[in-house]
Structure 1
Amino acid sequence: MSLTQTLIEQAEPHWAEYVQHPFVEQLAAGTLPETSFRHYLKQDYLYLFQYTRMFALAMYKSENFAQMETARGMAEAVLSEIDLHIAYCREWGISEAELFATEESAACIAYTRYVLDCGISGTLAELYAAVAPCMLGYAEIGKRIGAQPPVPGNPYQAWIDTYAAEDFQQVAVDFSAFFDSLCQDLTPAQQAKIAHIFTTATRMEVAFWDMGLHCRM
């Protein structure tokens, strides 16, 4: 079993709460309130800004050019995603000016600053352990929902298609392989710390869905 699969198992029941959250299930069914989705989109924009900073920090923490190249590729991918995110928000009636003026929610602050703190105070592996639930979880959600028959008229189908797409799924596979390789020589104590960080970040993902579903700032 790969390290990432072990971490997912150790993160239960929080992992199941994350990937099967009511926000996700309502989104798949097309029944999620549009106010919740718009709130989520605006907060996700702010999350992506911090997410880019995480990979910039990963470049600094890298110990060789191969690790730097991985971090650079991830940062560039997120920067491209931000442009797409802004365009997608516009389709939902959210202007770029409104995104800029959005106040960061407590859930977004707690999650992103936790990840950055793991990177600043810890190792590169610890930073990626905090980043991993986001990418791996969205890939699992996209793959599962994408395999289901589309709900006619689902306003969230474009979101589903994004994370079910082959290119995103491949990014998650490549990230998992890189992360497993990065952590292969860790001591049992270091592995335990990685597991704790991964589980904590998973709990933060649950709180982010909660924030979106209930529109809590």
Structure 2
Amino acid sequence: MSITQQLIHNAGTYWQDYIHHSFVQQLANGTLPKACFQHYLKQDYLFLFQYNRALSLGLYKAENFAQMKAAHEAISALLHEIQLHIQFCESWGIDEQTLFSTEESAACVAYTRYVLDAGMTGGLAELYTALAPCAIGYAVIAKHIVEGDVSPATNPYQAWIDTYAGEEFQTAAQHAIATLDALCADLSEAQLTKLQSIFNTATRMESAFWQMGLDLS
């Protein structure tokens, strides 16, 4: 079992609550209220902005040019994803000005600032561990939905599912796993215990983000 697999396994109910959250289940079967999805999309735009700030720490924390190149590529990919997200939001009746004027939810603030703090106070291992539940979890969730064949033919959220189940995002998730495994290969038990705490907390924050969507909070 790789280090990343151990982090997921040891997260236990935190991870299961995240990938099987009611928001995810309703999205999978097409019953998620439109208002909940729209609220999630607006907050996800704000999340992606802060997520890119966190990724930028990967450049500063890099210990060699290979790590710097990997961080640069991740930042470039996310900047492209943000543009696609804006277009996707427009298809759901959310224009760019609305995104710009949306106030960050408490769940978004708590999650993203936690990730930034983990990155600023730690090294690359701490940073990428805090980012991992999002980078890996969305791929796992979408793959489960597709393989479980629970999504109806007329699911209004199929485009979202297809994006994260698609080859590009699945490949990116595997790359995130390989990167984290490499960073953690020579860490001590004490360091791995710290990373487990970070991973658990970030995973709990992901569940809170789903709940924010359901609650319209």
Q: TM over 0.5, yes or no?
A: yes
Give 1:12-23 correspondences, 5 Å limit: 12-23=12-23
Report Cα offsets for 1:124-160 as digits up to 9, x if no partner: 1101110000011001001111224341211100000
CA distance in 2, matches of 1:98, 1:42: 8
Two-structure CA RMSD over aligned residues (Å): 0.7
Aligned counterpart, 2:137: 137
Q: TM-score, normalised by structure 1?
A: 0.98
Question: Do residues 59 (structure 1) and 59 (structure 2) align?
Answer: yes
Report Cα offsets for 1:63-103 as digits up to 9, x if no partner: 00111111111111110100000000000000000000000
Identity %: 59
CA distance in 1, matches of 2:179, 2:128: 10
Question: Do residues 26 (structure 1) and 26 (structure 2) align?
Answer: yes
Give 1:59-78 correspondences, 5 Å limit: 59-78=59-78
Aligned counterpart, 1:160: 161
CA distance in 1, matches of 2:215, 2:155: 20
Aligned counterpart, 1:178: 179
How many residues are paired up? 216
The amino acid that maps onto 1:155 is: P
CA distance in 1, matches of 2:215, 2:153: 25
Q: Secondary structure at the match of 1:147?
A: helix
Q: Secondary structure at the match of 1:24?
A: helix
CA distance in 2, matches of 1:161, 1:80: 17
Which segments of 5 or more consecutive residues in structure 2 lack a partner in the other structure?
none
Give 1:76-95 correspondences, 5 Å limit: 76-95=76-95
Q: TM-score, normalised by structure 2?
A: 0.98
Give 1:102-117 correspondences, 5 Å limit: 102-117=102-117
CA distance in 1, matches of 2:29, 2:215: 17
Structure 1 segments of 4 or more deviating over 6 A?
none
Which segments of 5 or more consecutive residues in structure 1 lack a partner in the other structure?
none
Q: Secondary structure at the match of 1:154?
A: coil
CA distance in 2, matches of 1:14, 1:202: 6
Aligned counterpart, 1:43: 43
